[in-house]
Amino acid sequence: MNATALAAALSLPAVVLYTLLTGEAVATLRSAFMAAVALGAMLVNRPFSLAASIAFAALVLLVQSPLALLDVSFQLSFAS
């Protein structure tokens, strides 16, 4: 395991812990899902796509709660 993969593997639990400690707000969940995709790409030595990670985060949040689309914090989180 190279240093990048090791750093990604050690960072993922910190991202999950931070998300749980902050109360799982929409913006925090979005950034956690995006970080998980980026760290996962580092772990398997694959290129990272920002657009794909944003789409994945939106899809996961909307599958979990479809009415989140009407939430202002969801809209602002993905509009930026």
pLDDT at 80: 73
Q: What is the pLDDT of residues 33-74, one digit of tens each?
A: 999 999 999 999 999 999 999 999 999 999 999 999 999 999
Among residues 10, 4, 71, 58, the alpha carbon closest in space to that of 31 is found at 58
Using DSSP's 3-state secondary structure scheme, residue 48 falls into coil
CB 43 within 8 A of CB 8: yes
Q: How far apart are CA 43 and CA 1, in angstroms?
A: 9
Token pair of 63 as six digits: 């599958």
Q: For residue 1, what pLDDT band results from cuts at 50, 70 and 90? A: confident
Q: Which residue has the tokens 């707000």?
A: 25
Per the CB < 8 A criterion, the answer to whether 80 and 70 are in contact is no
Encode pLDDT of 31-43 as tens digits.
999 999 999 999 9
The predicted structure's pLDDT at residue 24: 87
